[in-house]
Structure 1
C-alpha cells in the first residue's frame, strides 16, 4: 500500500513537472516572437513619443481604440492587440502564456463537461494530451498562438467566447452552474456583450446553440433560467453592434474593392462554398483524418451497446457523445458563414478545430480507459510516439522562432546604426524562409504598408528584394539525365515591367505532385530564383505515357520585376526541389532581356 502511494506521488510529480515545462516552453516562444505585420499598425504611440504619465497612456490607448473601432474594425481582438502593443511587452508575454494554457484546459473541459483538477492524474494526462494535439496538428499554429495581433483576434477572442459559453455547454447535460448567484449572473451577462464582439462567423454558432437549448427546454417544459435570457440578449446585442457597425461596412467595402467584387450572384456564393470546403479539408487534413479514425473506431467498438440503447430508447446513456457531436456540427456554421466574406483565412476555422479536438480527446480517452488492460502495450506505444513527436516539434518551433528573432534583431541593429548616422533611409533584409504552419512573418503586409514600420522606427525603410530572390547553386545536386523539361513560353513586357513564363519540368520516373519548380535567371555569377505556380499538364503525362508527369506544369507571372533585379540579359534556368528538399538545376538555351 505504501509503495502504491509513493508510486502515485512520483507519477504526480512527473506530470506536474511536465505542465511546468509546457508553460515554460510557451513563455519562451512568446519571448522569442518579435513584432510582425499588423503589430506595427495596432499601437497607440511610437517608441520616440512615449506618454509621460499613466493618465496620458490611458488617453492615448482609448483614442486609438476608438479610432480602430469606428474606422476599421470593432472586434474586441483588435482592441486587445492595441492594449498589449501600448504597455510593457512583458504583460503580453505572461498574459499570452496564461491564456494559451487556459485554452488547452478548455478543450477537455468542453469535451467532458466538467471542471479539471490539477491534483488528479487522469485530468493532467488529458491536459497534456490536448497540448500535444495542438502542437502537432493545429493549422496556422504561430498565427493563432504567438503572433500578437493573431493571438489577440483569435486565441484571446476565442477564449472569451468559450468561457462565456461554458455554462451553456454544462446546461446541455442538465447542469445549472449559477443557482441564482445574482452577482455572477450579472458578470456573465456583461461578458455576453463582449463575447458578441469576438468574431462574426463564430458568435453565430453560439446564438444557434442558445436557440437550441431554449426550444428544447420549452418542449420538455423545463424552466428557462433568467441567466439564459439575459446572457442570450447581451450576446445578440454585442453581435449586432459588431455586424452593423460602420467600421464593418467600411472594411467589407474595402475588401470588395480590393478583390474587384461588385455584384454577387448565386453562382458566386456557390463557388465560395466550394472554395471554403476545399480549403477546410486541405488545411485540416490531419485533424479531420484523426477525428474520422477515432470516431469510426469508437462506434465500431460500441456498436452493439449503442444499438441496444437505441432500441430501448435510452440513448441518453450516450449523452456526452451526443453533446460533443452536436457542438461539433454546430461549429460547422462558422465555416458556412464565411460564404458572405470576400476572402477566407485558415484562422477562420479555429472554432471547428477546437471542437474537433474536443471530440478526439473525448472518444480516444474513453477507448483508452476501456481497453487499456487488453491492448495496453499498443496504447503505450502510440502515446510514446505522440510524446516524442511533440518534443521534436517543440524543438523545431523553438529553433524557428529563435532564428527569426535573431534575424529581426539584426535588422533593428541596422536601422539603429542608420539613425545614429543621421541617414534618411535604410535597407533591411527580407526573411528568406517560406511562411508555414509554425511561423508566418507577415512581411508581405509590411512590404505593402511600409508607412507603419517607418513610423515605428522613425526612418524611411526599404526591403532589399534583390537579396530575397538571390540564389546560389554552387553546391546543388544536378543530374541532367533525370531532368525532363520544356519551356513553352517566356516573355518580358517592358511596358508593364512584367515577366511571364510557362512550361513543364519533371524528374524522370518520379511523381511531380510534390515537386516545387522555380525559374532561374542567371547573369555571370549572379542568380535569381522565382518560385512558380503549379499547372496541370496531362499532355506531358500522355506523351510519356506516365501520369506521374501530369502535375509537372509551371507558370510564372511577375510584376515590377525591375524593382527586384537589375536590367540585363539573363540565361533562363529551371530548378526542381523534390519532397526531400534536394535541388536539381539545369540551364536552357533561352535568354531573356530585362530592359
Structure 2
C-alpha cells in the first residue's frame, strides 16, 4: 500500500463527519461479531445450579401442556418463594425450546447496550452513526470490563436480572430523554402500555425501585418546570413503578424468603456495629468485583481532565445517575447477603461514563486517538469473547457428559437405588463463569426431581 492510499485510509478512519466512515463500518462489523459470540456462548451455556429448580424435563409435553406447567410452576414460585417478575421469566424461558431463549437473550443484550448508548450520548447529538458507535462501545466494554458475566450467560440470571434491567433502563429513559417520553405520549395506548411496563418493572427488584425513584422524581421535577403538560403522565409512570414495587414487597413469599436467609445465614439483629461491619463488607465486595471497570473509568477521567481540561461534573445527567447507583449499594445494609450483581446499576453507570467521556471529549478533540481506542477495544473484546466462549463450552461439555451418564444409568434401571454423580470442577475466573455446582451438591433432592431419578452426590 503506497503512502497516498495509506493517508486516505487514515483520513477515512478518523473522519467523524462522514455519514458512514470506515470507523463506523469497523464498529458495525465488530459489534456483529461480538453479538455472534454472545449468541454462541449462550447457546452452549448449560443448566447451572438453581436452573434445575426452576424447570423440568418437558420434552414429552405438548405446547399447551408445557404452558400449563409453566403457569402452575410460576404460581407456586410466586406464592411460596420469589414473586419477582424476573423469576417468572426464568421459569418461562427455561421451560421452552432453547433456541427461543437464546434469541431473546441476544436481543436483550443488544437492547441493554443500545440503552446504555442512549444515556451515554447527549440527546442533542443523537444520530444513527453516533448511537451506533456508542452501542458497539457498550457491547465491547461489557465483554472486557463487566465484573460478572453471569448476568449475561447464566440462564437464571440472564432472565431474572438482565431482562428486567433492560426494562428498568427503558423506564429511566422515559424520564431522561424528551424524545422517548414524547414517543410514549403520542397516544393513550402507548401511555397505557408504558404504565403497565412501569408496574412490571417495579415488581422486578427489591432494591432498585426505592433507589431509582428519587432519580426519577428529580428528572420529573426538572421537566415539570419546563413543560407542565408532561407532569401528570410522569407522575403516573412513577406511581405505577412504585405500586409494582409495593406489591412485590407485600407478598408473603418476599417476607418468607428474607426471613429464611436471615435465619440460615445467621444474620444478627440490626445495630450500629452490624451496620458498620456490613458497610465494610459492601465496600470490599464492590471493590473486589469492580476493580477492572473502576481502573478503566479512572484512567478515562484522568486523561479527559488533564488533556482536555474537562469537568466531568458538568455532565449533570450522568452525575444524577450516581443517586440510584449509591442507593442500591446502601440498600444492601439490611440485606442478609451481598451478591456482586446487586451493584449492576453502578456498573452500568461506569460503562455509561466511559462511553460519554470518550464520545464527548476524545472523539471531538482527538479523532485519531479515538480511532486507536476503538481498534484496541475491538481487539480486546474479541479476545475476551473467545475466552468466555471457550470456558462455557468446556463447562457445557462436562455437564452434558454427566447428563448422558444419568440417562444411561436410568435406562439400566438404577433410578430406584440411586445414581451417584460427581461435582463438576472448573478453573474459570469467577468474573467469567459462576460455577454453581455447590448448589447441586447441597440440593440433591431438587436435582432428583429434575431428572425424575434418585441422584446421589459423590463424596469429594
TM-score by length of 2: 0.88
The residue aligned with 1:112 is 121
Q: Structure 1 CA distance, aligned partners of 2:228 and 2:299?
A: 37
Report deviation, 1:263.
2.5
Q: Structure 1 CA distance, aligned partners of 2:137 and 2:227?
A: 40
The residue aligned with 1:483 is none
| 1:216-365 aligned within 5 A | 216=222, 222-303=228-309, 318=314, 321-365=315-359
Q: Structure 1 CA distance, aligned partners of 2:319 and 2:23?
A: 33
Which is helix-richer, 1 or 2? 2
| Counterpart pick for 2:143 among 135, 141, 144 | 135
Residues 69-102 of structure 1, C-alpha deviation per residue, up to 9 Å, x if partnerless?
A: 1111111110000001221111111111111111
Q: Secondary structure at the match of 1:269?
A: helix
Q: Secondary structure at the match of 2:233?
A: helix
Paired residues of 1:217 and 1:223 also in contact (CA < 8 A): no
Q: Structure 1 CA distance, aligned partners of 2:182 and 2:48?
A: 43
Paired residues of 2:108 and 2:166 also in contact (CA < 8 A): yes
Q: Structure 2 CA distance, aligned partners of 1:461 and 1:58?
A: 27
Cα 1:97–1:220 change in 2 (3 A) is: closer
Q: Structure 1 CA distance, aligned partners of 2:23 and 2:389?
A: 27
| Counterpart pick for 2:101 among 76, 92, 98 | 92
Which region of structure 1 is more displaced relative to structure 2, 288-297 or 329-338? 288-297
Matched, 1:42 2:49: no
Matched, 1:420 2:411: yes
Cα 1:91–1:117 change in 2 (3 A) is: farther
Residues 182-231 of structure 1, C-alpha deviation per residue, up to 9 Å, x if partnerless?
A: 21111101111101011111112221112223444566784553221111
Paired residues of 2:423 and 2:437 also in contact (CA < 8 A): yes
Gaps of 5+ in 2: 1-7
| 1:163-178 aligned within 5 A | 163-171=170-178, 176-178=182-184
Residues 521-545 of structure 1, C-alpha deviation per residue, up to 9 Å, x if partnerless?
A: xxxxxxxxxxxxxxxxxxxxxxxxx
RMSD of the TM alignment (CA)?
2.9
Residues 300-353 of structure 1, C-alpha deviation per residue, up to 9 Å, x if partnerless?
A: 4454x869xxxxxxx9xx4xx110111124321111111110110101101110
The residue aligned with 1:150 is 157
The residue aligned with 2:89 is 80
Q: Structure 1 CA distance, aligned partners of 2:125 and 2:76?
A: 41
Residues 414-436 of structure 1, C-alpha deviation per residue, up to 9 Å, x if partnerless?
A: 11111111113222232222451
Q: Over alpha carbons, which structure has the higher Rg?
A: 1
Q: Structure 2 CA distance, aligned partners of 1:447 and 1:275?
A: 27
Report deviation, 1:356.
1.2
Report deviation, 1:180.
4.7
Report deviation, 1:269.
1.6
The residue aligned with 2:378 is 387
Matched, 1:17 2:29: yes
The residue aligned with 1:546 is none
- Select the structure with the greater relative contact order (CA < 8 A; seq sep ≥ 6): 2
The residue aligned with 1:124 is 132
The residue aligned with 2:365 is 371
Q: Structure 1 CA distance, aligned partners of 2:19 and 2:93?
A: 44
The residue aligned with 1:545 is none
Q: Structure 1 CA distance, aligned partners of 2:198 and 2:137?
A: 30
Residues 242-292 of structure 1, C-alpha deviation per residue, up to 9 Å, x if partnerless?
A: 112111100011001111235221221221112111211221112122222
Cα 1:180–1:104 change in 2 (3 A) is: closer
Gaps of 5+ in 1: 308-314, 467-595
The residue aligned with 2:396 is 405
Q: Structure 2 CA distance, aligned partners of 1:88 and 1:306?
A: 50
Q: Secondary structure at the match of 1:430?
A: coil
Q: Structure 1 CA distance, aligned partners of 2:36 and 2:329?
A: 34
The residue aligned with 2:61 is 51
Residues 485-540 of structure 1, C-alpha deviation per residue, up to 9 Å, x if partnerless?
A: xxxxxxxxxxxxxxxxxxxxxxxxxxxxxxxxxxxxxxxxxxxxxxxxxxxxxxxx
The residue aligned with 1:433 is 426
Q: Secondary structure at the match of 2:207?
A: helix
Which is strand-richer, 1 or 2? 1
Report deviation, 1:123.
3.2
Paired residues of 1:113 and 1:169 also in contact (CA < 8 A): no
Size of the aligned set, in residue pairs, is 444
Which region of structure 1 is more displaced relative to structure 2, 249-258 or 264-273? 264-273
Paired residues of 2:207 and 2:331 also in contact (CA < 8 A): yes
Cα 1:18–1:390 change in 2 (3 A) is: closer
Paired residues of 1:425 and 1:462 also in contact (CA < 8 A): yes
Paired residues of 2:86 and 2:160 also in contact (CA < 8 A): yes
Report deviation, 1:463.
3.1
Residues 455-481 of structure 1, C-alpha deviation per residue, up to 9 Å, x if partnerless?
A: 111222233343xxxxxxxxxxxxxxx
Paired residues of 1:33 and 1:405 also in contact (CA < 8 A): yes
Cα 1:342–1:9 change in 2 (3 A) is: closer
Matched, 1:28 2:44: no
Q: Structure 2 CA distance, aligned partners of 1:327 and 1:114?
A: 15
Paired residues of 1:415 and 1:426 also in contact (CA < 8 A): yes
Report deviation, 1:369.
1.9
Cα 1:15–1:389 change in 2 (3 A) is: closer
Paired residues of 2:52 and 2:450 also in contact (CA < 8 A): yes
